[in-house]
Structure 1
Amino acid sequence: MKRSSGARLCAVTAAGALSLALITGCSDDGSKKDGKGAKDSVSSSSSSSSAPAAKALSKAELEKLLLAQGDVKGYKVASGDDTLPKSKSVVKSDKAECYPIIWASGALAPGETDVNVSNSVSEDKASTATASPEDLAAAFDINITFVGLSSYEGDGAEKTMKAVSDAVAACGGGYTVDVKGEKTKVTKVSAAKGSGLGDESVGFTESVDMDGEGTATVNGEVVRKGNTVATFYTVNFVALSGGKVVPVPPAVIQAQVAKLK
């Protein structure tokens, strides 16, 4: 039996924005890499080779660095507690080498650390909508960016960026992901130009199978500043169903990276 369009959206987000697979109401009812591979996805604005060994921030310290309401004009910030996966343990894949970008897609730490926080940042269109059908429809046509911050000891952040870049290169042919029994196929992963912010940035694009009815393209980016790594993954339900490609909003990346130490 074919699943409803609502279920197909759940499948899409389970593959890419892992966070949306757990969103309330979503159910069947409704490296700078070393000169090779995905080098176009990585940009660098500074070098940390002579910097002293980094010390990881605490979870409480990371929480203070997350974007808060009022930090990005035209956007509203939510905690993400009900929409983001709580643990990497709920995410399974047939390709272990793809986990760094899979985790980044769910606002989880893409590297080896337990210090991770996350939230979501969405366009604030609902506040200006009227009762007209056009405005009500537009209120749902919003970009939602899932933001994650993770912190690392020593050169852990640099190793994490390389792992992400390596994953983009290794997973070009796609992978399958299983989030709490919901299996979805990412058919293609491509390198994308990073924002160039922070010390390193890795951009990537994923093509996700829409239950056999075409593909959806979703964009993500990972940025390192010092020993803190920020992940961004943007989805739009209306755009996904219409085949529109939505970039990660530059304003969101700029505002978040500006808050990092």
Structure 2
Amino acid sequence: MRATAVRRTALAAAVASLTLLATACGGSDSDAKGDGGTSGAKDDASAKPAAVKALSSAELEKASLEQGDVAGHKISKTGPEDIAQPGDVTVDKKECEPIGFAFYGVKRGTPVGNAGRKVVEEPKKDESADPEDLLAGMLDMTSSLVTLASYDGDGAVKNMAELRESAAKCATGGFTLSMKGSKQKVTKLTEEKVTGGEEALAWRVQMGEGDEVAPFKLVSVRQGGTVATFFSFNLAKTGADADFERPTSVIDAQVAKLG
């Protein structure tokens, strides 16, 4: 890994880190998320919403991931410092607000309960004596913000439908997010196939422009009246053609705990 590549990686890491700090602003007991990415669930999942009673924040906490639930990952709770208020985030296109708010954990609809976790993949071990290779290995790990939001009635189904519609309208052309004055440009949304729960959506999200482009992953899964949202990035990935695997083990473990 050459010095130029290391500098580019470090730049991407800085951009991604700033975005994670912003996205971390939404996954605690005080705020909710209900967003995701591509469709790959049951075809009629949204056509026949079941009458459900929302889980409380306390119940969602019990259903949230804990340390030890996912091998090779460190899991911690989101705290009050991670909470974003709706007024903190603006999107330059109204139709892109649902998908844009998903990145930052901004509450949508009227969730009854909320819970959040930060999940970070442990660095891969590398016995190489090359400092640049060691740095690359330390950066090559996926971090995710996981949030749960529960809704009464068909609230969760509507949440997913709103997200799907927003992403379809904003897949091309781009839009700009502003988190407390810090702007992020979303240049492309690419739908990806995903399965899980009663309904699932997923996208590859391209943020940044020029040499500061980096990919992110957004996944939303509905299980009953609860929507689980996963927003992930990998610090080692940069460039328009860069990509990384979704944290499938994290998603599967969380959906399993939701029953």
- Which residue in the other structure is 2:150 paired with? 151
Larger RCO, structure (CA 8 Å, separation 6 or more): 2
Shift of 1:11: 4.8
Root-mean-square deviation (CA, aligned residues, Å) is: 3.2
Segments of 5+ residues of structure 1 without an aligned counterpart are 23-37
Shift of 1:236: 1.4
TM-score (normalizing by structure 1): 0.78
Give the 3 Å change call, closer, same or farther, for CA 198–214 of structure 1 in structure 2. Answer: same
- Which residue in the other structure is 1:183 paired with? 183
TM-score (normalizing by structure 2): 0.78
Shift of 1:187: 1.2
SS of the equivalent of 1:239 reads coil
1:98 aligns with 2:96: yes
- Which residue in the other structure is 2:68 paired with? 70
Asked whether the equivalents of residues 101 and 168 of structure 1 are also in contact (C-alpha less than 8 Å), the reply is yes
SS of the equivalent of 1:230 reads strand
Shift of 1:214: 5.1
SS of the equivalent of 2:236 reads helix
Q: Distance in 2 between matches of 1:203 and 1:152?
A: 20
Shift of 1:51: 7.0
Stretch deviating more after TM superposition (75-84 or 57-66): 75-84
Instruction: Kindly tell me the number of residue pairs found equivalent between the two proteins.
Output: 239
Q: Distance in 2 between matches of 1:203 and 1:77?
A: 22
Segments of 5+ residues of structure 2 without an aligned counterpart are 1-6, 27-36
- Which residue in the other structure is 1:34 paired with? none
- Which residue in the other structure is 1:53 paired with? 51
Amino acid at match of 2:218: G
Q: Distance in 2 between matches of 1:83 and 1:241?
A: 31
Could you tell me the percent identity over the aligned residues? 33
- Which residue in the other structure is 2:200 paired with? 201
Q: Distance in 2 between matches of 1:49 and 1:109?
A: 24
- Which residue in the other structure is 1:248 paired with? 246
Give the 3 Å change call, closer, same or farther, for CA 148–119 of structure 1 in structure 2. Answer: same
Alignment of 1:110-121 (within 5 A): 110-113=108-111, 115-121=113-119
Q: Distance in 2 between matches of 1:248 and 1:188?
A: 17
